[in-house]
Amino acid sequence: MKRLYLLHICIIIFANHSFCQFVELKNGMKINASTKIKKDIYLFDANVNSQDPVIEIDGNDIVVDFNDATLKGSNGKQMPDEFYGIAILIKSGKNITIKNLNAKGYKVALLAKNVDGLTIEHCDFSYNYRQHLNSTLQKEDVSDWMSYHHNEKDEWLRYGAAMYLRGCNSAVVNNNFVTGGQCALMMTECNDGMIYNNDFSYNSGIGIGLYKSSRNKFMYNKLDWNVRGFSYGVYNRGQDSAAIIVFEQCNENIFAYNSATHSGDGFFLWAGQTTMDTGKGGCNDNLLYHNDFSYAPTNGVELTFSRNKIIKNKIEECDNGIWGGYSYNTLIRKNDFIGNKTAIAIEQGQDNKILSNSFSNNKISIKLWAKKEQPKDWGYAKNRDVRSMRYEIADNVFAHEHLVNDISNTSDLVGRNNYYKNCDSLFKQDTTISNAYTTDVPVLIKETKDDIHLPEITKAQNAFLSKSHPKGKKEMRITEWGPYDFRSPVIWNTNPLSNSDTLEFDIIGPKGKWKVINTNGVKTISMNEGTIPSSIIAIKDNSARSGASIEMEFVGDEIVTQFGERIKSGTPYHFSYKEPFVPISWSVKWFAFDSSSNPVQSPEKIKAISSQAPVKLDQTNDLYYAWWGGLKDGAKSYPEFLTSAVGRISVEAGKYELNVTWNDVVRIYVDDSLAIDEWQPKKFLFDESPHKRVQLNLMAGEHTVRVEQAAAGGFASLAVSLKKL
């Protein structure tokens, strides 16, 4: 008996000793038991030619503690749009926990499929894949638009992800950090999950994305500055970036106490293609409670073709506070709408309630309307009544509004007990309103209790931005790699559309000192050194053929670069401004063709087409066009056309980058040498325009750039630019 007892003790000691041993990772390792990893930096490239991960995990009841180890991939690559491969693949099993892992330099940091009870906690998946953006401060490039409308075949993976989960029910994702990427957490067919206390901020695409996922709870998450497609005072596009997207039959999810500010959309919900085709289903019965959706270039909250509840949220300084096209049975209650262009805009809505909200300093408080006709071939309108009707607008406070009610083609409205203070106009007169009944009297609103039941979170973080944190659209600065994150110094041009010789800049970042160490194409500069923050003015030298540039040195607090490199405090760090484009003087001609002489399929026909008289001419310094429904010239429209453009440049000797965005096909010649050949018509599956960049070594002097582009119907685009590297 004594011998058996001693043997039992030895087995326990050996088992515990084995579990506590730190395991060194190997590229290609498969883990199927609980493991604690040796802390180290592992430079592991994924297989570029396959979907094989660096580490594969499967099994049941497994805890893998990475012990703050770091996986770094794509080690031969420099730029985030070159990153490739999967760091961690969890392909099956249940009750699997991943914790304390750092992974960067991959297309996807963690990919999990069909895992019930997956837990991801205390991981840092920052600085993985993101696209190189082509939009600038001066103009948008349509190739930067994303499309998340389909994900049946994991189409979302083309944008990469820090975490991509499919078929993972009851997942718990908490206390993770993702910045400097494109998409943080993407979930498809994942139900009953709990996502809380995460920080997914300063990414160029999506903070949290849902597709066919229901009954999940998202609470106390930091989701700020997930944005692209914005230039302050120039354009507000967003390009389908968002703090949160909810697409295609996602129901009964809860979003509470999240900060989702300064993003393309704060919250973007779309019922899905199934609903568009049949009129059935939707993304219904989701609750948005006590979130901050402020400072969106487009919509603070967009909810379409569905019924939902939006309660006690803050929505400030957005284009539309709420865009609710075709929403029905939706409750909008106790929200604060401040300084939006339009606080609530609903087209073709039905049976919606707008109750007990606070409106202040919005241009339009409530805009309701309906089109006279719907597309006859549209399944949704065929299967549903889409009239604008049956609204209850009650117990709201309107203060300092320009226009409170902008309502047309709408019937059966009830307005009661609304309070108005210092509003310019209460109603826009419209004879298309019918059965409208109001009993507004100036009485104060009585407080009502919210019948909301939320799970308790232990040690819940305060996700909202501190009072001292920079806020507002002026604080949204989009670089070629995504949103600026305040962790490194930057010299930012604040008058990008000026045609004068004067360039105005803000110098912002961590605390420290800066000084100018080199300039090119600049006559004078107002200050050559100073402390952050500063503002300076530079006068351009227009005789410089490659534009103005300013190089600076910073010494101060620790910084983190846009690629995640830490620079210790007191270490000199260089940063710079360079004008984005080399000026090109373009002469443009357009020629019409028909299907019998289509050069898209038969490029040998270009010569015959271009020998005809052009249907339109242009002289421009900016070869940038986007055509919806064909080339238009006055009342005439040409759905199929050929563009022929000749540009002339004068440059210094050096290395340059030639960029083009196009639909359908394009060729570019530099000094009669073919530089870009994209005359192979392709099927573009995702409503996106392609972009290509090539490097050129140009001698000093004059050069000619010749562009041929053809469109065979539908959307078309052409944008060509040259910049000095």
Quick: pLDDT tens for 444-490.
555 667 778 898 898 999 999 999 999 999 999 999 999 999 999 99
Per-residue confidence (pLDDT) for residue 5, from 0 to 100: 45
Per-residue confidence (pLDDT) for residue 11, from 0 to 100: 39
Give the pLDDT mean for 657-681: 92
Quick one: pLDDT band at residue 14, thresholds 50, 70, 90? very low
Least confident of 246-250, 502-506, 592-596: 592-596
Per-residue confidence (pLDDT) for residue 684, from 0 to 100: 55
Closest CA to 516 of 498, 534, 501, 499: 534
> Residue 214 above 70 pLDDT?
yes
Helix/strand/coil (H/E/C) assignment for every residue in 263-324: CCEEEEEECCHHHHHHCCCCCCCEEEECCECCCCCCEEEEEECCCEEEECCEEECCCEEEEC
Question: In this structure, what are the phi and psi dihedrals at residue 382, rounded to the nearest 5 degrees?
Answer: -70, -35
> Residue 93 above 80 pLDDT?
yes
Residue partners of 492: CB distance under 8 A and separation at least 6:
477, 484, 505, 506, 507, 508
Enter the tokens of residue 197.
């206390």
C-beta separation of 232 from 194 below 8 A = no
| Residue type present at position 412 | D
Give the pLDDT mean for 359-382: 92
Strand partners, 166: 113, 188
> Residue 103 above 60 pLDDT?
yes
Per-residue confidence (pLDDT) for residue 442, from 0 to 100: 54
Least confident of 193-202, 419-428, 472-481: 419-428
Percent of the chain whose predicted confidence (pLDDT) is above 70 = 95
Per-residue confidence (pLDDT) for residue 685, from 0 to 100: 54
> Residue 618 above 70 pLDDT?
yes
Interior angle at CA 123, CA 118 and CA 125, nearest 5 = 105
Q: pLDDT tens digit string along 29-78? A: 999 999 999 999 999 999 888 889 999 999 999 999 999 999 999 999 99
Q: Which residue has the higher pLDDT, 438 or 573?
A: 573
Per-residue confidence (pLDDT) for residue 596, from 0 to 100: 82
Per-residue confidence (pLDDT) for residue 49, from 0 to 100: 80
Domains of the chain plus CATH, in order, are 209-449 (2.160.20.10), 486-578 (2.60.40), 585-724 (2.60.120.260)
> Residue 363 above 90 pLDDT?
yes
> Residue 579 above 90 pLDDT?
no
C-beta separation of 237 from 202 below 8 A = no
Number of other residues whose CB lies within 10 A of the CB of residue 626: 15
Residue partners of 393: CB distance under 8 A and separation at least 6:
354, 355, 366, 413, 414, 415, 416, 418
Least confident of 32-36, 120-124, 287-291, 498-502: 498-502
Q: Scanning the structure block, which residue is given the tokens 């998340």?
A: 148
Enter the tokens of residue 226.
């997930």
Q: Which residue has the higher pLDDT, 111 or 630?
A: 111
Per-residue confidence (pLDDT) for residue 269, from 0 to 100: 98
Quick one: pLDDT band at residue 4, thresholds 50, 70, 90? very low
Q: Detail the DSSP E strand segments found in 612-653.
A: 616-620, 624-627, 631-633, 636-638, 640-651
First to last CA, the chain: 80
- Which range, 297-306, 617-626, 688-697, is most confident? 297-306
By the 10 Å C-beta count (0-12 exposed, 13-18 middle, 19+ buried), 4 is classed as: exposed
> Residue 441 above 70 pLDDT?
no
Give the pLDDT mean for 234-257: 97
Closest CA to 407 of 389, 424, 423: 389
Per-residue confidence (pLDDT) for residue 21, from 0 to 100: 80
Helix (H) or strand (E) holding 694: strand 691-698
Strands 388-394 and 161-166: unpaired
Per-residue confidence (pLDDT) for residue 10, from 0 to 100: 38
Give the pLDDT mean for 343-355: 97
| Average pLDDT over the chain, rounded to an integer | 92
CA distance 388 to 378: 18
Residue partners of 373: CB distance under 8 A and separation at least 6:
none
| Residue type present at position 41 | I
**Length of the chain in terms of residues written:** 725
Number of H helices and number of E strands within the chain?
4, 64
**pTM (predicted TM-score):** 0.93
Q: pLDDT tens digit string along 511-555? A: 999 999 999 989 999 999 999 999 999 999 877 777 789 999 999
> Residue 306 above 70 pLDDT?
yes
> Residue 2 above 60 pLDDT?
no
Strand partners, 711: 641
**Dihedral, CA atoms, 196, 209, 269, 179, nearest 10 degrees?**
70
Residue partners of 430: CB distance under 8 A and separation at least 6:
407, 408
Per-residue confidence (pLDDT) for residue 374, from 0 to 100: 87
Per-residue confidence (pLDDT) for residue 683, from 0 to 100: 59
Omega before 450 within 30 of 0, i.e. cis? no
- Radius of gyration over alpha carbons of the chain, in Å? 28
Per-residue confidence (pLDDT) for residue 722, from 0 to 100: 92
CA distance 363 to 365: 7
Per-residue confidence (pLDDT) for residue 543, from 0 to 100: 76
Largest CA distance in the chain: 106
Enter the tokens of residue 219.
């609470």
> Residue 13 above 70 pLDDT?
no
Least confident of 12-26, 311-325, 359-373, 613-627: 12-26
DSSP SS3 for 380 = helix
Least confident of 7-11, 203-207, 385-389, 716-720: 7-11
Residue partners of 447: CB distance under 8 A and separation at least 6:
none
Lay out the sheet containing 654-663: strands in order across.
624-627, 716-724, 654-663, 691-698
CA distance 15 to 403: 73
